[in-house]
């Protein structure tokens, strides 16, 4: 590839013609995406990364400050370290749980009668906007005796006093995790379901001849290896959404939350970007978040690579 | 433990204990996912006195359509009718979904099957974009959209949402399962590249594109942030913003608007459910298409 590029810059007419002849169709198919992607994604992201090395308040020109933002972030910003801990705790639990649960649901539903009904029921929570659902959650997790959950637990005699679900720092994180699981399982579920449809039935027939006896053997020897591309997509999606937790945390616990118990990395980022307008510092937070998820993403890609090289 | 029941057409229906248990577990999971939504839907049909019952009642006793009437009437008096927001949302979301399906499929096809030089680099960029928190790029994005003179137009809401890293990544993952041999065969038969793409690749990708349609529709339909920063005039706003306007009025007319808010939330839910039902039917029915069998 690099040699081809060198030739291209070398302006050797014949080589250029051959290169173009071989690849023009590929570039043609790619062109619409590349153009829009460069303008609306690459440019803003690159600009944001650049800003992370500056002091920028949107009013004055950005000032180059080197690594100062990063130093401040890790050495002096205790709230950031707190948000990092919260986010890690959240991601370590909801990421794998949501991933496994949505795969399990897709696998089971694929074998049931009335698939479409079950599929709709399972995807339904992802259809809602988190803003619209807040009213429902606040009724369920209301901290007084009239909240549904408190009411049920009180009636069952499991608690004596109503629990302050969305204000007691001990309960904020579990409530956020519960709601996030509820809302985010659908995406992975849908991709897995489509992936299951993608496995040709002839593979199962062949496996049966080769001595695969039950559904679990089928899952391990046929379904999972065939679904690697979808499993990878689901994993990346789980990582990105687990580390990007924000909307739900804010709508449940408010911002800032009591004792910063519901403070996440993106909440911290949002605070600096859109409340304090310190874009340089906010960008540095984004870059740190990006490095964490990117490294994890690369590890997952290694594990689930679909090529047999 | 197996129970045999005579089923129609002389077939036997086998009911095993494990199957029954499985259905029970699944029904419990469905309860977990669906109950909060049932509450949401019930609220939209509650008459005034039931909306403010304490403790709040889950179900609705005397369902009424009054809230929907309120929604049309109370906003009808303001400059922009509710139907205008609905229209904006429908146009913008449909345009995005259509374009992103075509653009992402073409791009993924090229990345996987043509592998042009630079493709691997592009894919790495896509992965990086996937991992980059969208919040912090909002301000640079605004500068780009503003620089292109798109602010306060449909273009500002449509164009930036077409080439999404997430979408092309999704399609690419499915494209990798498509066998090269079929493409080779078609080329030998003299089919043009665009014909191959339209008549072979796109139909085979139906489970993937249907899934993308659902994701893209839901995300953009519920998108609150883009119109908030790109749209300044009232008649260009979309439903999520309108919803906020309606509930924002709650401060001065708290009692009058609560029902309308629930109704508006319900209206926002309906199209996504319809799209999902159609598209999911698509995924289920194409089942194992012959194209991918080797």
| A170: closest CA of chain B, how far (Å) | 23
Cβ within 8 Å, pair A123-B214 = yes
Residue B13 DSSP SS3: strand
pLDDT tens for chain B, 294 residues long, are 566 666 666 566 667 787 888 888 888 888 888 888 888 888 888 887 777 776 667 778 888 888 888 777 766 556 677 888 889 999 999 999 999 999 999 999 999 999 999 999 999 999 888 888 787 788 888 889 999 999 999 999 999 999 999 999 999 988 988 888 888 888 888 888 889 999 989 988 888 899 999 999 999 998 888 898 899 888 888 988 887 777 664 444 444 566 777 788 888 888 998 998 888 877 765 444 434 433
| A37: closest CA of chain B, how far (Å) | 5
Cβ within 8 Å, pair B284-A127 = no
Cβ within 8 Å, pair A294-B292 = no
Q: How far apart are CA A190 and CA A63, in angstroms?
A: 45
Q: Is residue A7 part of a domain?
A: no
Residue B11: its pLDDT value, please? 61
What's the burial of B51, exposed, middle or buried (CB within 10 Å: 0-12/13-18/19+)? middle
Q: Is residue A196 part of a domain?
A: yes
| Structural domain count, chain B | 1
Tens digit of pLDDT for each residue in B41-70? 888 888 877 777 766 677 788 888 888 887
Cβ within 8 Å, pair B173-A202 = no
Residue B112: its pLDDT value, please? 92
Q: Is residue B15 part of a domain?
A: no
Q: Would you call A155 an interface residue with chain B, using a CB distance cutoff of 8 Å? A: no
Radius of gyration of chain A from Cα atoms?
25
Residue B289: its pLDDT value, please? 42
Residue B13: its pLDDT value, please? 63
CB atoms within 10 A of CB B15: 13
Tens digit of pLDDT for each residue in B231-278? 988 888 898 888 777 766 444 444 456 677 778 888 888 899 899 888
The CATH number for A188's domain is: 1.10.3720.10
The H-assigned helical ranges of chain B are: 17-44, 48-51, 66-76, 82-109, 119-131, 138-147, 154-158, 165-175, 180-188, 193-196, 202-204, 206-221, 225-230, 239-248, 254-286
Inter-helix orientation angle B165-175/B119-131, to 10°:
130
| Structural domain count, chain A | 1
Cβ within 8 Å, pair A119-B280 = yes
Cβ within 8 Å, pair B56-A139 = yes
Q: Is residue B232 part of a domain?
A: yes
Chain B CB contacts of A139 under 8 Å are 39, 56
Chain A CB contacts of B103 under 8 Å are 32-33, 36
Chain B CB contacts of A229 under 8 Å are 172-174, 176-177
Q: How far apart are CA B217 and CA B96, in angstroms?
A: 8
Q: Is residue B3 part of a domain?
A: no
Q: Is residue B123 part of a domain?
A: yes
Chain A CB contacts of B117 under 8 Å are 1, 4-5, 19, 23
| B251: closest CA of chain A, how far (Å) | 16
Cβ within 8 Å, pair B141-A44 = yes
Q: How far apart are CA B162 and CA B92, in angstroms?
A: 11
Q: How far apart are CA B225 and CA B160, in angstroms?
A: 13
| A81: closest CA of chain B, how far (Å) | 18
Residue B73: its pLDDT value, please? 72
Query: What contacts A247, CB < 8 A, 6 or more positions away?
Result: A130, A131
Residue B248: its pLDDT value, please? 60
* Residue among B129, B165, B218 whose CB faces A126 most closely: B218
Supply the DSSP symbol for B129.
Answer: H
**Among B214, B216, B269, B219, which residue's Cα sits nearest to residue B243?**
B269
Q: Would you call A120 an interface residue with chain B, using a CB distance cutoff of 8 Å? A: yes
Q: Would you call A309 an interface residue with chain B, using a CB distance cutoff of 8 Å? A: no
Cβ within 8 Å, pair B135-A289 = no
Q: Is residue A171 part of a domain?
A: yes
Tens digit of pLDDT for each residue in B188-197? 888 888 899 9
Under a CB-based contact definition with an 8 Å cutoff, are residues A228 and A97 in contact? no
Q: How far apart are CA A135 and CA A42, in angstroms?
A: 37
Please list the residues that pair with B5 across neighbouring strands: B13
Residue B68: its pLDDT value, please? 83
Question: What are the b/e assignments for B160-191, b being 16+ CB within 10 Å?
Answer: bbbbbbbbbbbbbbbbbbbeeebbeebeeeee
Boundaries of domain holding B233: 84-292
Residue B12: its pLDDT value, please? 63
Q: Is residue A46 part of a domain?
A: no
Q: Is residue B22 part of a domain?
A: no
Q: Is residue A106 part of a domain?
A: yes
Residue B111: its pLDDT value, please? 94
Q: Is residue A234 part of a domain?
A: yes
Distance of CA B75 to the CA centre of its chain: 26
Rounded to a whole number of angstroms, the distance between the first and last alpha carbons of chain B is: 38
Most B CBs within 10 A among A22, A37, A119, hence the mutation to make, goes to: A37
pLDDT averaged over 10-residue windows placed end to end, chain A, 309 residues: 49 80 89 95 91 89 91 92 94 94 90 83 81 74 79 83 83 90 87 85 84 85 88 91 86 80 90 89 92 91 70
Boundaries of domain holding A175: 78-304
Residue B247: its pLDDT value, please? 67
Rounded to a whole number of angstroms, the distance between the first and last alpha carbons of chain A is: 19
**Among B107, B84, B106, which residue's Cα sits nearest to residue B241?**
B84
Q: Is residue B281 part of a domain?
A: yes
Angle formed at CA B148 by CA B145 and CA B150, multiple of 5 degrees: 65
Q: Encoding tokens for residue B197?
A: 């793409």
Q: Is residue B13 part of a domain?
A: no
Q: Is residue B48 part of a domain?
A: no
The CATH number for B144's domain is: 1.10.3720.10
Q: Is residue A32 part of a domain?
A: no
């Amino acid at each position: 590839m690099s040699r081809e590029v060198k030739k291209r810059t070398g302006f050797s007419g014949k080589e250029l013609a051959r290169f173009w002849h071989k690849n023009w169709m590929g570039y043609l198919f790619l062109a619409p995406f590349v153009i829009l992607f460069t303008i609306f994604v690459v440019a803003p992201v690159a600009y944001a990364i650049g800003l992370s090395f500056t002091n920028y308040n949107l009013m004055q020109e950005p000032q180059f400050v080197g690594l100062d933002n990063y130093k401040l972030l890790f050495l002096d910003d205790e709230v950031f370290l707190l948000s990092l801990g919260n986010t890690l705790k959240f991601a370590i639990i909801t990421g794998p749980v949501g991933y496994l649960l949505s795969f399990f649901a897709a696998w089971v539903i694929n074998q049931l009668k009335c698939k479409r009904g079950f599929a709709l029921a399972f995807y339904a929570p992802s259809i809602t906007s988190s803003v619209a659902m807040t009213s429902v959650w606040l009724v369920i997790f209301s901290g007084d005796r009239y909240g549904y959950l408190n009411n049920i637990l009180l009636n069952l005699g499991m608690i004596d006093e109503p629990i302050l679900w969305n204000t007691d720092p001990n309960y904020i994180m579990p409530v956020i995790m519960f709601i996030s699981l509820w809302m985010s399982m659908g995406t992975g579920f849908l991709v897995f379901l489509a992936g299951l449809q993608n496995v040709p039935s002839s593979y199962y027939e062949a496996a049966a001849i080769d001595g695969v006896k039950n559904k679990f053997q089928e899952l391990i020897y046929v379904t999972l290896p065939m679904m690697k591309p979808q499993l990878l997509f689901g994993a990346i999606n789980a990582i990105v959404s687990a580390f990007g937790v924000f909307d739900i945390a804010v709508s449940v616990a408010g911002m800032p939350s009591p004792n910063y118990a519901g403070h996440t990395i993106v909440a911290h980022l949002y605070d600096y970007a859109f409340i304090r307008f310190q874009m340089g510092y906010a960008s540095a937070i984004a870059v740190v978040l990006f490095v964490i998820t990117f490294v994890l993403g690369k590890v997952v890609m290694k594990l689930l690579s679909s090529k047999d090289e | 433990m197996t129970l045999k029941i005579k089923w129609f057409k002389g077939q036997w229906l086998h009911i095993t204990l494990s199957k029954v248990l499985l259905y029970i577990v699944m029904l419990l999971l469905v309860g977990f996912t669906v109950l909060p939504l049932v509450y949401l839907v019930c609220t939209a049909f509650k008459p005034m006195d039931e909306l403010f019952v304490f403790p709040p009642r889950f179900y609705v006793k005397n369902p009424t359509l009054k809230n929907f009437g309120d929604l049309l009437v109370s906003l009808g008096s303001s400059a922009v009718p509710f139907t205008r927001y609905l229209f904006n949302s429908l146009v913008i979301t449909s345009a995005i979904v259509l374009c992103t399906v075509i653009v992402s499929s073409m791009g993924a096809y090229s990345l996987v099957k043509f592998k042009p030089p630079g493709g691997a680099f592009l894919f790495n960029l896509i992965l990086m974009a996937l991992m980059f928190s969208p919040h912090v790029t909002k301000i640079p994005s605004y500068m780009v959209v503003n620089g292109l003179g798109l602010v306060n137009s449909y273009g500002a809401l449509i164009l930036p949402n077409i080439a999404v890293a997430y979408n092309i990544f999704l399609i690419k993952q499915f494209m990798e399962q498509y066998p090269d041999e079929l493409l080779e065969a078609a080329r030998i038969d003299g089919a043009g590249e665009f014909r191959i793409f339209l008549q072979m690749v796109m139909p085979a990708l139906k489970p993937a594109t249907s899934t993308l349609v659902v994701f893209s529709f839901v995300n953009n339909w519920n998108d609150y942030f883009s119109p908030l920063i790109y749209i300044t005039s009232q008649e260009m706003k979309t439903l999520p913003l309108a919803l906020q306007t309606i509930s924002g009025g709650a401060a001065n007319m708290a009692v009058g608007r609560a029902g309308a808010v629930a109704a508006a939330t319900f209206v926002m839910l309906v199209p996504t459910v319809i799209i999902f039902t159609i598209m999911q039917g698509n995924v289920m029915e194409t089942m194992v298409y012959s194209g991918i069998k080797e």
